[in-house]
């Protein structure tokens, strides 16, 4: 789903949000209900692709935890409704690459160094790596390099948001929620210096918000 560059978003006063963020948000960019509807569509596509195969989901923390949780729950719910036997397990990995609103060259990987369960195990046939946002593609490339070193049978990547950037990697996630302009968004577990993760909606942070929580 493409969001145009000139999309202004919704007025924040039309939505409920924590009072302590008063003045810190420019707009609500993607409401929570729209996010959930899109995740249901992604879950349906994943189920159609993997069939009855077992699946390991690698959740990219911290920004991807809500997306991962809602995606897995939707996959489980839809697989039950279609009488498909689908076993899922979840592992967690963390990448840290942002300072304020800028992506840095220092990419830190924190998480399971040993994913050897992926190697030579017929029961673990599919690995879905879920991350909330893909911009330059640096995190996704590092993630795939790390995961592929354990020789899984198949790897697919699900990304809730992909930014349109001139320097963006040519390779996109296999499952994409929204393609958005190059705007710094927060909420739905996406943060600005650890703030705004508690927003249900995806929002654009205001200049006042950036200054207020700048490190």
- Whether pTM exceeds 0.75: yes
24 catalytic? Reply is: no
Q: What does the block give as tokens for 42?
A: 């992604």
Q: Which residues contact 16 (CB under 8 A, 6 or more apart)?
A: none
Number of alpha carbons in the 13 Å side-chain half-sphere of residue 189: 18
Q: How far apart are CA 204 and CA 101, in angstroms?
A: 12
Tell me the CA distances in angstroms from 91 to 31, 32, 78, 107, 140, one per residue in order.
28, 25, 21, 20, 16
Residue pLDDT, tens place only, 126-177: 556 666 777 766 777 777 777 777 777 778 889 999 888 876 655 678 899 9
Q: At what angle do helices 65-81 and 32-50 cross, to 10 degrees?
A: 60
Maximum mean pLDDT: which of 72-86, 96-110, 117-131, 172-186: 172-186
CA–CA separation, 22 and 44 (whole Å): 37
113: pLDDT strictly greater than 70: no
Q: What is the pLDDT of residue 122?
A: 42
The more confidently predicted of residues 172 and 48 is 48
Domains of the chain, with CATH numbers? 35-183 (3.40.50.2020)
Q: Which one of 49, 135, 174, 191 is the catalytic residue?
A: 135
Contact 107/142 with Cβ under 8 angstroms?
A: yes
Residues in CB range of 104: below 8 A, 6 or more apart: 97, 98
Length of the chain: 215
Residue 30 confidence (pLDDT) = 97
**Which of 115-119, 152-156, 177-181 is least confident?**
115-119
pLDDT at 101 over 60: no
Residue 212 pLDDT exceeds 80: yes
Between residues 146 and 201, which one has the greater pLDDT?
A: 201
Average pLDDT, the chain: 82
């Amino acid at each position: 789903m493409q969001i145009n560059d000139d999309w202004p978003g919704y007025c924040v006063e039309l939505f409920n949000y924590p009072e302590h963020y008063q003045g810190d948000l420019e707009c609500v960019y993607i409401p929570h209900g729209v996010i959930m509807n899109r995740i249901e569509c992604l879950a349906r596509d994943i189920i159609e692709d993997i069939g009855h195969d077992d699946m390991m989901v690698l959740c990219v923390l911290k920004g991807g935890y809500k997306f991962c949780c809602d995606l897995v729950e939707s996959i489980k719910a839809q697989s039950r409704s279609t009488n498909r036997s689908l076993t899922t397990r979840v592992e967690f990995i963390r990448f840290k690459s942002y300072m304020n609103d800028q992506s840095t060259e220092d990419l830190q990987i924190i998480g399971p160094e040993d994913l050897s369960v992926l190697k030579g195990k017929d029961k673990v046939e599919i690995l879905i790596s879920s991350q909330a946002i893909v911009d330059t593609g640096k995190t996704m490339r590092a993630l795939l390099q790390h995961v592929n070193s354990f020789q899984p049978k198949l790897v697919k990547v699900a990304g809730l948001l992909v930014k349109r950037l001139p320097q963006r990697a040519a390779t996109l996630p296999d499952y994409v929620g929204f393609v958005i302009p190059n705007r710094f968004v927060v909420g739905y577990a996406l943060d600005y210096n650890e703030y705004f993760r508690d927003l249900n909606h995806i929002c654009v942070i205001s200049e006042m918000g950036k200054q207020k929580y700048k490190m």
